[in-house]
Amino acid sequence: GAGVSQSPRYKVTKRGQDVALRCDPISGHVSLYWYRQALGQGPEFLTYFNYEAQQDKSGLPNDRFSAERPEGSISTLTIQRTEQRDSAMYRCASSLEGASSYNSPLHFGNGTRLTVT
Amino acid sequence: AQTVTQSQPEMSVQEAETVTLSCTYDTSESDYYLFWYKQPPSRQMILVIRQEAYKQQNATENRFSVNFQKAAKSFSLKISDSQLGDAAMYFCAYRNLPGAGSYQLTFGKGTKLSVIP
């Protein structure tokens, strides 16, 4: 498809389990962002990649959260030892240009809804 | 750090009428981008309109227009001739220019717009 694709769409996991969320950006898009959105709130920045380089991970809440984009395309957000407070919608976005010169908007995926029981 | 404030958690408008959603932001930068995103019940994130701060002219996109008051750091969205399909959460967002610190989108908490038939 032409848009940002995220999988799975829904994920229910038990507390303490690890989860991996996948993002497939629009082909050719340089920048990739991960956001987390709690119900009734705006998206909150987690981390950003320019090609395969993780340029900013200041939004990751703690060291249980990590992300990678090894070949500059697909990205995986991993949450280890999940806790109930991790339950949220996790969104990926991509844009054509890198942060050094951007005028193109972010294109968001439909998100992965994570529920930790 | 930049902050974005949407002071209206919920708004309603009669179909075919006009509604204005408020947004204020805080930044020490003189140039930046501002955006309005729409999130319908499907929970997609759809870019509605964007404004470059250096442009004096207010952006317009069909029935959507903004009132950008740079000195007041205000960026309101006006929806004219409201339609049932406009019902959604609306998020105001801010983004620095390249090279001006963090470049992620910073979102407000959103305004839920209901359209009354």
Output the CA–CA distances (angstroms, integers) from residue A57 to A44, A48, A62, A107, in the order listed. 12, 6, 10, 20
CA distance B75 to B105: 15
Verify whether the Cβ–Cβ distance B109 to A48 is below 8 Å. Answer: no
Asked which of A78-87, A101-110, B11-20 is least confident by mean pLDDT, the reply is: A101-110
Q: How much is the pLDDT for B1? A: 72
Give residue B21's pLDDT: 98
- In which band, very low, low, confident or very high, does the pLDDT at B101 lie, cut at 50, 70 and 90? low
Residue pLDDT, tens place only, A69-105: 999 999 999 999 999 999 999 999 998 876 555 567 7
Q: Count CB neighbours of B70 within 10 A.
A: 16
In chain B, the percentage of residues whose pLDDT exceeds 90 is: 75
List, for residues A59-75, the tens digit of each pLDDT value.
Answer: 999 999 999 999 999 99
Distance from B50 to chain A by nearest Cα, in Å? 9
pLDDT tens for residues A7-60?
999 999 999 999 999 999 999 899 999 999 998 889 999 999 999 999 889 999
Looking at this protein, which amino acid is placed at residue A45?
F
Rounded to the nearest angstrom, the minimum Cα separation between B112 and chain A is 9
For residues B70 and B75, give the distance between their C-alpha atoms in angstroms, rounded to a whole number: 8
Give the residue numbers in A contacting B (CB under 8 Å), as ranges: 33, 35, 40-45, 48, 56, 58-59, 89, 91, 93, 99-102, 105-106, 108, 110-111
Does the pLDDT value for residue B105 go beyond 80?
A: yes
Distance, CA of B8 to chain centre: 12
**Using 50, 70 and 90 to split pLDDT, how confident is the model at B41?**
confident
Distance CA A79, CA A94 (A): 21
| Tens-digit pLDDT profile for residues B43-91 | 889 999 999 998 889 999 999 999 999 999 999 999 999 999 999 999 9
- Closest Cβ–Cβ partner in A40, A106, A111 for B105: A106
Q: How far apart are CA B63 and CA B83, in angstroms?
A: 10
The pLDDT value recorded for residue A101 is 53
d(CA A13, CA B67) in angstroms, rounded, equals 44
Given a cut of 70, whether residue B108 has pLDDT beyond it is yes
Query: What is the pLDDT of chain B when averaged over all its residues?
Result: 92
Contact B68/B51 with Cβ under 8 angstroms? Answer: yes
For residue A23, give the nearest of A12, A36, A14, A13 by alpha carbon. Answer: A36
Contact B70, B104 (CB under 8 A): no
